[in-house]
Amino acid sequence: PTSLNLAVIGGDGIGPEVVAQGLKVLRAVTDQVGVSVTTTDYDLGAKRWHKSGETLPDSVVEELRGHDAILLGAIGHPTVPSGVLERGVLLPLRFALDHCVNLRPSVLFPGAVSPLDIERVAPDGIDFVVVREGTEGPYVGNGGALRVGTPHEIATEVSVNTAYGVDRVVRDAFERASARPRKKLTLVHKHNVLVHAGHLWRRTVEAVAPEFPEVTVDYLHIDAATIFMTTDPGRFDVIVTDNLFGDIITDLAAAISGGIGLAASGNINPMRTAPSMFEPVHGSAPDIEGQGKADPTAAILSVALMLEHVGLPELAARVDQAVHDDLAERDPSVPRTTDQIGDAVAARL
Ligand code: IPM
Ligand code: MN
């Protein structure tokens, strides 16, 4: 492409601050090759809700559909009751735009600090990607509560897994595994207990595997996967898992590979029937809002994922490399502002 038409949702807390740095780096790298970038800001999140009670108007969803991609900062604020913005803005965006692949790479860049004893547990480093299902599972809101507030209350959240939904995400994970040097796919689930959904996932992997004979297939229960993630993270290449297991394990994955400040994600619609949305895994961190303290690295790496997705992989690689170099030379005793980190990465392009 020679132009990019982006929708930008800064959102709450530090969201707009980190997105601004992502856009700075995006403009720097696209200018070099003459790709023009236009952006339209959409005001969604806590401020809009306080002002008008609106979460995600249908008209906004329709406008978002007209863009090549969406860049999102963070949605969520302590002044809004838990669940209102999550269930009202972020999840409806993922569902409406069919973001069935929630892509979360976990790479320990040189210079990034892991709480693990890396020399011992991962001498060859950490470099895996979680393909988290993004539109189904326990996230769909299929549940209810009876006798609320009484000692006899019953609350259910029923996980929804469809053959269609599992097949498309498993295929995407196989394709990604096939394109990577180690070509290994690990299904993470809990099919010894969640027998209905678990066996659908297991059978789907078994059914697709023959189409990718070059890919080695492995399976781990979610509980065991958390152990291996801290004792042998080098064993992972591509992980495929459901929405909730993926949510949990990607926080752990971020923690072991330099922290949540470095974790990028893509909410991807692989069918390309709607724009994909790129966001840092971290939240809105309202405690440090407006202080210039937020690390924009995850937002910048999310821009790299976006460039890859829209068909500009060379530019994505340049942004990744600039972040690598910046991290490698970071001096933790010299803290930098959000803006300074953005400038430093842009200057390395
Ligand atoms: C994430 C977040 C969201 C999720 C919340 C805010 C709804 O934790 O992107 O990982 O659970 O998917
Ligand atoms: Mn999460």
Q: Of residues 31, 43, 223, 232, which has the active-site annotation?
A: 223
ipTM above 0.95, yes or no: yes
Mean pLDDT of 297-301: 98
For residue 251, being part of any structural domain is answered with no
Query: 332 pLDDT exceeds 90?
Result: no
**Mean pLDDT, rounded, of the chain:** 97
pLDDT digits (tens, 9 = 90+) for 137-162: 999 999 999 999 999 999 999 999 99
Is any atom of ligand 1 closer than 6 Å to the C-beta of 242? no
Q: Which ligand is nearest to the CA of 75?
A: 1
For residue 150, being part of any structural domain is answered with no
pLDDT digits (tens, 9 = 90+) for 213-266: 999 999 999 999 999 999 999 999 999 999 999 999 999 999 999 999 999 999
CB 262 within 8 A of CB 297: yes
Output the domain CATH number for residue 311. 3.40.718.10
42 is catalytic: no
Model-level pTM?
Answer: 0.97
Is any atom of ligand 1 closer than 6 Å to the C-beta of 133? no
Is any atom of ligand 1 closer than 6 Å to the C-beta of 247? yes
For residue 258, being part of any structural domain is answered with no
For residue 172, being part of any structural domain is answered with no
Report d(CA 166, CA 100) in Å as an integer: 9
**pLDDT interval class at 77 (50, 70, 90):** very high
For residue 36, being part of any structural domain is answered with yes
Give residue 234's Cα distance to chain centre: 20
Q: What is the secondary structure of 112-173 as a DSSP string?
A: ---SS-HHHH-TT--EEEEEEE-SSBGGG--EEEESTTSTT-EEEE--B--HHHHHHHHHHH
CB 316 within 8 A of CB 324: no
Q: Of residues 12, 98, 127, 190, which has the active-site annotation?
A: 190
pLDDT digits (tens, 9 = 90+) for 25-36: 999 999 999 999
For residue 157, being part of any structural domain is answered with no
Q: Supply the range of the domain harboring residue 346.
A: 1-106+263-349
Please choose from 55, 82, 247 the residue to mutate so as to test ligand 1's pocket, defined by most ligand atoms within 8 A of CB. Answer: 247
- State the distance from the centre of ligand 2 to the C-alpha of 282, rounded, in angstroms: 8
pLDDT digits (tens, 9 = 90+) for 275-288: 999 999 999 999 99
Report d(CA 321, CA 227) in Å as an integer: 31
Query: Counting every residue, how long is the chain?
Result: 349
For residue 52, being part of any structural domain is answered with yes
pLDDT digits (tens, 9 = 90+) for 98-134: 999 999 999 999 989 999 999 999 999 999 999 999 9
The number of domains in the chain is: 1
Burial of residue 32 (number of CB atoms within 10 Å: 0-12, 13-18, 19+): exposed
Is any atom of ligand 1 closer than 6 Å to the C-beta of 175? no
For residue 321, being part of any structural domain is answered with yes
**pLDDT interval class at 54 (50, 70, 90):** very high
